[in-house]
Chain A
Amino acid sequence: MTHMQADGETPPLVLVRGVGKSYPGVRALRGVDLDLRPGEVHALVGENGAGKSTLIRILSGATQPDEGTIALRGAPVTFASPRAARDNGIVTIFQELAIVPGMTVAENIVLGNEPAGGPGRQLYDRRAAEALARETLAALGCENEIDPRARAGTLSTGQKQIVEIARALALKAPVIILDEPTASLSGKEADALLAILRRLRTDGTSILYVSHRLSEVLELADRITVLRGGAHVGTRPTSAFGDPMDLIEMMVGRPLDELFPPRNNEIGALVLKVSGLTRAGVFQDIGFDVKAGEVLGFAGLVGAGRTEIMRAVFGADRRDGGVIEKDGRRLDIRKPADAIRNGIAYIPEDRKDQGLVTSLSGHENLLMASLADYCRAGVVSRGRARRAAEEVARRLQFRGQLAKPARTNSGGNQQKIVIGKWMLSRADVFIFDEPTRGIDVGAKAEIYRQIQSLAAQGAAIVVVSSETSELVHLCHRILVVSAGRIEDELVFEAFDEQRILAAAFRGHTLPTAAHAK
């Protein structure tokens, strides 16, 4: 808006055409186009699972696309490794910063590209390194703030980020990609970073910028590309968007009514009641209740503390205070086994890392939480266990192979194994943490059907999801968590995605907010 305008005449520096990438069980990216012009800040936005990270990984050489082309200044390129992308002038700064804490700032800035001197040019030239560090830091306007001789480990997160940007600058990289650079910064640090990015743009550097902070995106970017479900929705100049809500509409897409079964309308008695749940620095004074047959949603941004809350209810993480009651009885939950014994099930966010033992068969995974029911004196009654597992698989319309290792099944079928495990443990409170992340639309619809069917059978359901539209169509009530606190509560006649998003951002945009995680 203020700078480089979309005049259609500037040839793109980076041209991405029809790029696609599949992982086992999920098509992460398909037919995505993107062009990055010299000296522009180009924002990449989308919900979780929209394909932003995959696209960045491809551009940074961390992974290779299955299809499509990338051209740099008109010449086709393929990046076999991160090194190849870097040598071509594309430097990516990931959320997980690549800083060696034990080395000095200067050493970090020249890392992998050390100035050499002495016989055979094999000696590290500390002077040249420090001079280069000072020069790049000055170009970023941070020469007074960061000492090239300081140990990188002593810097704040924001300063470390600046060191990484300085490293890109020292390489004279024409393209810098930033993945959620402000996610873990305080308001002040984020402002400082944005100022640096503007400065880089003025100097002609192209910046591809991924962020969940939409107001920040609108403030900084020249153009915005929206991805949804791995596909390219559109690229518009920032001026085409009035406020974050326009952007959100484009990210979320049309309401997906046909995906969602009708809500269960038989709500019963109170089942689970949580009050005063607190864990210092993570979440404070969380209170909520769920009734039989009810689906309660937890909305919020990634890192708002929702997963941590649910893990504490389930006994997987410690809590500093709070009472958990079920059916009017106070529970003493110290470990997952306590929660399971009391009929509480937790279906974790990360299937592969937490939900499944992928090397074991579907049968064994299904029985993992209820094996005691199928044992006599510690010996498993195979036939009975097998029949129970097969019965539950049938009920869930499982279409993989139970006898094979769980990893060989598709994402949707893996999720069914996790749900089936808890059906076998006779749970009546189901906590779903991001149940549909990374699975395709068809499998999502089946998960929604399972959730409503569990509710219809009288289970109390809690769903944590970062996809607001999913919650709006699934839940009876939605609580919005922001920076570890419940900010808002909505009932389904009055669901309002904009209000939910506003509440979700509320705690995080406060300059003092210390972010959980």
Chain B
Amino acid sequence: MHTYRETIGGRMSTGSWRESLAGHLRGRGMELALPIATVAMVAFFAASSDVFFTGQNFRNIGIAASGLAAVAFGQTFVILTAGLDLSVGSIVALVSVVCAFVMREYGIAPGIAAALVCGAGVGVLNGFVITRFRVSPFIATLAMLSVMSGLALNLAGGVPIPGLPPGFGLIAYQSFLGIPVPVIIAAVTLLVAELTLRATRFGRHLRAVGGNEEAARLSGIPVEKIRIAAYAFCGLTAAIGSIILTARVSSGQPTLGATLPLESIAAVVLGGVSLAGGRGSVVNVAVGVAFISILANGLNLLNISSYTQMMIIGFALIVAVALDQANLRRASGG
């Protein structure tokens, strides 16, 4: 049926390996910059503080990072579709409240189940508003941030919900094989997210939608469903993050997670995921999370106030986005 001309077809474009290596490094510049910066930062803190470079401190960093990690992995999915989820913080708060109520009445497992359903549900709602009513992700999730914060505060009456089963707190403080449980939860989330992105049809469709929505649509990809699924996944991982954070404080907190929208977006962008969509990996986002968490921990040890930390993270986000923009300009050849 077809004519085969393998002699020509199989040949790849030529060019010296030196050129191709240089091209490779140029393309990977962003990816390498963050791990190098992270290592440099670790070296700096290790030199400035006696307690920083200890096993116990790294366990602390891990526990502190795991909540943000879960949220950032979901955020990655949304940003890959060229979207944005500003409502993750309020999802964390709402889930914390819902989880606490259900858990107090029915026990740990139903509480966790309710938390996951609640998080994914808000995500679906986000996706629905964005795809059906064509509200931009920025506005839709900003509005949802307000709606869900208000709902969480209303449900809780504005105060923390105490009286959770004592077993629940163990999630935050137990270890398994020497690894804190929150870190294990975050690692599993990372694994699932990365495999979903790399190996599944959904993952590829997600990147296609983010890279070029029209081309994806014309290829028969159900663009709207993919978008909604991305927000649902983001809501789900926000719920996972909320469970970790709620377990740490052993109570339902209607004000939990207020800094998470900014921190999660910063981690994603630091991890080299393009805000323009389509490009990035969850593993690199994990490095972004590590960067932010180590920075916070180290600055704490150096007695630098959390207010200053906020300023530093804000600046880091601007730098990361500026680098992403410079990358995009180069890629588009203009």
Contact = CB atoms under 8 A, between A and B. Distances in A.
Nearest to A397: B9
A369 interface: yes
A24 B333 CA distance: 8
A378 B197 CA distance: 11
Contact of B278 (A24, A316, A360, A401): A360
Contacts of B207: 357, 359-360, 364
Given A346-B218, A399-B11, A360 B200 contact: no
Interface in B221-250: 221-222
A84 interface: no
A421 B279 contact: no
Nearest to B5: A397
Contacts of B6: 394
Contacts of B201: 371-372, 375, 378-380
Contact of B219 (A368, A407, A453): A368
Given A316-B217, A336-B218, A368-B219, A356 B212 contact: yes
Interface residues of B, number: 36
B215 A357 contact: yes
A258 interface: no
A353 B200 contact: no
Contact of A380 (B11, B204, B212): B204
B36 interface: no
B12 interface: yes
A357 B214 CA distance: 9
Interface string B287-325: 000000000000000000000000000000000000000
A395 interface: yes
Contacts of A316: 217-218
Interface in B1-58: 1-6, 8-13
Interface string B186-201: 0000000000000111
A358 B212 contact: yes
A515 B200 CA distance: 45
B242 to A, nearest CB: 27
A209 to B, nearest CB: 28
A395 B4 contact: yes
Contacts of B202: 378
Nearest to B1: A457
Interface centre among A359, A364, A396 (most CB of B within 10 A): A359
Given A357-B208, A359-B278, A382-B199, A401 B13 contact: yes
B214 A353 contact: yes
Contacts of B1: 457
Contacts of B208: 357, 360, 364, 368
B331 interface: yes
Interface of B: 1-6, 8-13, 199-202, 204-205, 207-208, 211-212, 214-222, 274, 278-279, 331, 333
